[in-house]
Structure 1
Amino acid sequence: MSKTNNEFFETQVLGHPSGLFVLFFTEMWERFSFYGMRALLVLFLVSALGIGGWDWPRENALALYGTYLALLYLTPIIGGTLADKYLGNRRAIIIGAIIMTLGHASMAIESNPFFLYLGLGLLVVGTGFFKPNMSSFISILYKDFPEKKDGAYTIFYMGVNAGAFLGIMLCGYLGEILGWGWGFGLAGIFMLLGLLQFTFAQGIFGDVGSKPNKEDKKIETDDHTEIEDKLNPFTLLDKLLIVIISVAGLTWVINDPLSKIGTVNFLEFGGTDYSSHTIIVTLILFIYLLGSRILRYSPITRDKMLAVVIFAFFIIFFWASFEQAGGSMSIFAKDYTSRILSGNSALIFNIIDIIITVVPIAIITWVLFLLFKQTFKKYFLSNLILAFSFILIWGIVIWKIYNNFNTYSYEISYQTYQIQEGDALKEYAITSKTIVPENASLVEHSTVIRSANDFVNNDEISIIDIDKKGVNYKYLAPEKAELIDTNISATIVQKKDNEIEIPATWFLILNSLFIIAFAPLFSKWWESKYNPKPANKYAIGLFFLGIGFAFLAYGAAGIPQGAKTASVSIVWLILAYLFHTLGELCVSPVGLSYVSKLVPARMIAFMFGVWYLALAIGNKTSGQMGAMIDDITTKYDISTFFLIFTFVPMIIGVIAILINPVLKKLMHGVK
């Protein structure tokens, strides 16, 4: 047992070394930043220019979203390799955190497209260094204490979900209430704080992870596998195909949003777009490469690797549907869900919101206090930064609660003008730049806005039609009204009962809440005699996923064809997130553990790459499929859009059940 590990285990918090909680908080702030930004990205891109958004078509926003998620699963392959060979885990984590901090800072300048694209690029690169090395760092630290490893990962993933929960709630709230730059900026602030507290607590890890250690990465295999590996080196053709597939696939992934957003299309030649041809040829070459590699192994090894490929196939369909959460489901929350609550409903929601906000933060603050008692003197700066982080969190939460209880609803009146154009009578808003034609007739309208400002009757204000559909208006502060030509003059008629508007990003926190609530139950299930076979776990997860979308399809059934807005109950989104989370809990335990158990040593890196590639394809497909929302809504309706995500996962789930005996045979007893 190393001296380093003895030192690491000297101080205890909740039965684990205090150093684990340094990693806990580092990961928590990184997930805070990632999920906080992710919650805002699509909503920011599709929101009106007048409230700071870019007013993009949904198709373009979801194309960029899918590409961003796909690249996040590709760069860790490179970052993990660099850490193993040259950097070490700790240096890679710090490099990744610095790059991600710069990425979030760049995105805070959201009015300039260059900085947003730069920010997304930096986040992709930074994640490649950060993400794979946090998990492997824990594995190295606990290599002499395997009996404690499961508990350590359980605590670590509590930090993942706590960060996701807080990031979505607070970045989302600030982004939607104060402005998108506030939300993006808050994500960057906590990424920086996570970086600093990790950097100043380096001593707690001794020399672990400071430099590459081949022993830590060594994969134990039997003699037969080692001999077989030497007989199957990567040929020149294999390496050439890997280069071609990587370049072509990456070009297609990046080109997809570029060709939609701007005039750049790397895959257009002679006026013909070869994007579809490129991805089809790339997939054929990849299948050939994978198949040719697998066929060179002995029958047993070949069977095990084929089982991994089948699991990867299932995972593509799961994530293609699941990741609608940050895409089409966020759009559904924004445009099609009734998020305005008043009277008792508003009061009940505010109370529930306070409970689910304050209780988790209080628990994490208590963990922080326990860590302070063990490490405050020795790692003063790191603890001071953590203390500041939580003071900032509590300050934002208190402001959020105050703001929710002090947001008022006002009935306002404003004018439009009508004018005959040919056979049609057209109606137009009157903005600060409008010159009303002499032959037009004025029409008086009334609507309701929500604001924390305390207006009185007959106050003159400026509003903006945030969806450009004449149904949803928002108050503009005077300094913003001066900069926006589309502001509309309005008059306060009367103050109404207090109302609240649930932020569209709020629904994304349900995933983390449900994971925290149900993970212990699923853990007991997996440990019981009723633990399903791997393929059945996938099937159950896909069925849960389909049921979640079925609730959305049913809830949206009354929305007419082509509608861009509606007001369906929030119940359907809550049920959808519940069942999607149950599906995630079924699928997430299977994944990478089976790759490590089934794949021979020489192929482990290649097959991990295949697995992450499957995740990347699934996430990119989520954007591709989500981008169909407008076309399907126009031709059919939005209920049909969600029915596609209902039936596809369920069909794949049935296939998983049917081939379970085949998978069991292919795995040759591996459990």
Structure 2
Amino acid sequence: MRNHPKGLITLAGTEMNERLSFYGMRAILVLFLAAAVSEGGMGLGTGTATAVVGLYLAMSYFTALPGGWIADRLLGQRRTVLVGGVVIMLGHISLALEFGSAFVWFGLALVCVGTGLLKPNISAMVGELYKDAPDARRDAGYSLFYMGINIGSAIGLFLVGYLGERFDWHVGFAVAAVGMALGLLQYVLGQKNLQGAGDRPGNPLTAGERGRLLRNLAIAVAAVALAFAAAALTGTLSVDNVTYVLTAFSIIVPIGYFVYMFVVRRDEITDEERPKLKAFVWLFIASAVFWMIFDQAAGPLTLFAKEHVDLHIGSFAVPAGSTQAVNPVMVIVLAGVFALVWSKLGDRVSTGMKFAFALVVCGFSFVVMSWATAATDGGTVKVGLMWLVGVYLLQTIAELCLSPVGLSMTSKLAPEAFKAQMMGLFFLSITAGDAVGAQVSRLQPVLGGNYFLLLGLLAVVCGIALFFFVGRLRGLMGEHRPAPQEAAA
């Protein structure tokens, strides 16, 4: 850290604590929602519980869009991160209070909103610290920042998972609140190290724009309130129906945005940019399929661990939710290896090839899950913990092939008129994938092991199809094709 700005410690520490709180809650959320009321849980059915978790993750990514806009036009990144952290902490406090289901839903909503305010902007502030630095130093800074993310995630999954399952769900949520509070404390104390990064909005609203914003916001709030009131009066307001609406919303928004770019504002996209945008659409779909499977770790895989896995390591029983920590630990171990591999391979492995490989490997992880389900012999036998370790190892390999190159790919393919917006659009691929996965997860109790097999084969088929399209994608993206002597090197 000696050759890096002091502000990196502030930002990395804040994000580490935020991820501790976010992933810590994720460790126990589905178990809390599915647990009987007599056990201190919400008493939701398994299908509804996994759907809620999937939609919660989807909305956490969706709110990154308005979160970035608020920083750019209203508050600046520094203040937006601070507000986001406070909102996240209040959300965890609401979850920690045993005052009924209203506080649970309110808490989840606050964490979603706060995450959208904090996460994209704190990452952007890291870039601001390195705005005059060489690319290699900037990349090293982001690598250290990414390491903090995974350390926080692993600690949260272990600590909150253990306390929530072993003692009380609300104790776990309280620890998540303390984690975010520590992150906020470090952020406030380290303000002097941020070198003015994110102090002001990049494109502040004019007085006229502020007036229009307030009117549109008032209309939106009134429309949502009326919709809830109408649903309550007609007897259609339910947790399941809300998840259906949010899923439809998560799919319609990116489709509408692509139509907006290709049709409404087509004149702002040059002939050179249009093929690249078409390539982005295919990679967007591939990303959505990947996250549809990958983020089911927080739902179906955690429930499988609770019910069908022998979680003992010697005399110690690993909390079911803490099994998710295998992923961030493996990311820490393998990230450097993959960075070296991609550096050695260079242009010989295209973006499309990496995405295709990620889909096949991630899909195969669910094929392995179907084998693990079969090994339970109809639920009468508990399988060993290494089944899940193997599944998470495959998913980590897939993640390192797709996730790190996603935003880089987006920046290269973005039309000039949509540079900033395209980053948010890529996050919508995660939103769409998580939302669809939320509804699909309702089928798991009915299909059993066939659920994992069908989803896994779907991803494998999509990956193989993408392999056949790699050459075409290279052409659309304008990627360099290695010469024969380069390929043989």
Shorter-chain TM-score category? 0.7 to 0.9
1:510 to 313, 326, 332: 326
Structure 2 partner of 1:318: 290
Classify the secondary structure of the residue corresponding to 1:209: coil
- Highest RCO, 1 vs 2 (Cα 8 Å, sep ≥ 6): 2
Q: 1:605 to 1:204 in 2, by over 3 A?
A: closer
Q: 1:90 to 1:546 in 2, by over 3 A?
A: same
Report matched runs for 1:123-134 at 5 Å. Answer: 123-134=111-122
Task: Check whether the contact 2:56–2:108 (CA below 8 A) recurs between aligned residues.
Answer: yes
Q: 1:283 to 1:83 in 2, by over 3 A?
A: closer
Counterpart of 2:362 in structure 1: which amino acid?
Answer: L
Structure 2 partner of 1:386: none
Structure 2 partner of 1:520: 336
| TM-aligned CA deviation for residue 591 of structure 1 | 1.0
| TM-aligned CA deviation for residue 267 of structure 1 | 11
Q: 1:112 to 1:153 in 2, by over 3 A?
A: same
Report matched runs for 1:124-203 at 5 Å. Answer: 124-147=112-135, 148-203=137-192
Classify the secondary structure of the residue corresponding to 2:383: coil
Counterpart of 1:665 in structure 2: which amino acid?
Answer: G
Structure 2 partner of 1:264: 237
Separation of aligned partners in 2, 1:294 and 1:206: 38
2:345 to 508, 529, 552: 529
Classify the secondary structure of the residue corresponding to 2:79: helix
TM-score, normalising length from structure 2?
A: 0.86
Paired residue total: 454
Structure 2 partner of 1:291: 262
2:2 paired with 1:29: no
Separation of aligned partners in 1, 2:86 and 2:255: 38
Structure 1 partner of 2:467: 657
Structure 1 partner of 2:109: 121
| TM-aligned CA deviation for residue 265 of structure 1 | 5.9
Q: 1:501 to 1:651 in 2, by over 3 A?
A: same
Task: Check whether the contact 1:338–1:566 (CA below 8 A) recurs between aligned residues.
Answer: no
Separation of aligned partners in 2, 1:305 and 1:87: 31
Task: Check whether the contact 2:6–2:194 (CA below 8 A) recurs between aligned residues.
Answer: no
Task: Check whether the contact 1:598–1:670 (CA below 8 A) recurs between aligned residues.
Answer: no
2:44 paired with 1:71: no
TM-score, normalising length from structure 1?
A: 0.63
Note the residue ranges of structure 1 that are not aligned, 5 or more in a row.
1-12, 216-242, 347-498, 633-637
Separation of aligned partners in 2, 1:266 and 1:501: 33
2:332 paired with 1:547: no
Classify the secondary structure of the residue corresponding to 2:310: coil
1:596 to 372, 389, 411: 411
Name the structure with the higher helix share.
2
Q: 1:274 to 1:174 in 2, by over 3 A?
A: closer
Counterpart of 1:198 in structure 2: which amino acid?
Answer: Y
Q: 1:276 to 1:193 in 2, by over 3 A?
A: closer
Which moves more between the two structures, 166-175 or 565-574? 565-574
| TM-aligned CA deviation for residue 213 of structure 1 | 3.9
Task: Check whether the contact 1:92–1:129 (CA below 8 A) recurs between aligned residues.
Answer: yes
Task: Check whether the contact 1:597–1:670 (CA below 8 A) recurs between aligned residues.
Answer: no
Counterpart of 1:539 in structure 2: which amino acid?
Answer: A
Counterpart of 1:328 in structure 2: which amino acid?
Answer: P
Classify the secondary structure of the residue corresponding to 1:548: helix
Q: 1:280 to 1:23 in 2, by over 3 A?
A: closer
4+ aligned runs moved over 4 Å, structure 1? 265-268, 273-287
Counterpart of 1:41 in structure 2: which amino acid?
Answer: L
Counterpart of 1:557 in structure 2: which amino acid?
Answer: A
| TM-aligned CA deviation for residue 651 of structure 1 | 0.6
Report matched runs for 1:317-336 at 5 Å. Answer: 317-336=289-308
| TM-aligned CA deviation for residue 602 of structure 1 | 1.4
Task: Check whether the contact 2:48–2:240 (CA below 8 A) recurs between aligned residues.
Answer: no
Classify the secondary structure of the residue corresponding to 2:316: strand
Structure 1 partner of 2:456: 646
Separation of aligned partners in 2, 1:54 and 1:265: 14
Structure 1 partner of 2:384: 569
| TM-aligned CA deviation for residue 605 of structure 1 | 3.6
| TM-aligned CA deviation for residue 38 of structure 1 | 0.9
Q: 1:89 to 1:599 in 2, by over 3 A?
A: same
Q: 1:281 to 1:589 in 2, by over 3 A?
A: closer
Separation of aligned partners in 1, 2:121 and 2:265: 28
Q: 1:30 to 1:284 in 2, by over 3 A?
A: closer
Q: 1:26 to 1:280 in 2, by over 3 A?
A: closer
Q: 1:546 to 1:214 in 2, by over 3 A?
A: same
Deviations 1:385-406 (A, max 9, x none): xxxxxxxxxxxxxxxxxxxxxx
Counterpart of 1:526 in structure 2: which amino acid?
Answer: W
| TM-aligned CA deviation for residue 298 of structure 1 | 3.2
| TM-aligned CA deviation for residue 79 of structure 1 | 1.2
| TM-aligned CA deviation for residue 595 of structure 1 | 1.6
Task: Check whether the contact 2:55–2:247 (CA below 8 A) recurs between aligned residues.
Answer: no
| TM-aligned CA deviation for residue 288 of structure 1 | 3.8
Separation of aligned partners in 2, 1:277 and 1:529: 40
Separation of aligned partners in 1, 2:239 and 2:73: 34
Report matched runs for 1:15-414 at 5 Å. Answer: 15-110=3-98, 112-147=100-135, 148-213=137-202, 263-264=236-237, 288-293=259-264, 295-296=266-267, 297-339=269-311, 341=312, 346=314
Counterpart of 2:90 in structure 1: which amino acid?
Answer: L
Name the structure with the higher strand share.
1
Separation of aligned partners in 2, 1:630 and 1:334: 14
Deviations 1:63-108 (A, max 9, x none): 2112111111111111111111221111111010111110010010
Separation of aligned partners in 2, 1:160 and 1:525: 22
Counterpart of 2:426 in structure 1: which amino acid?
Answer: W
Separation of aligned partners in 2, 1:118 and 1:553: 36
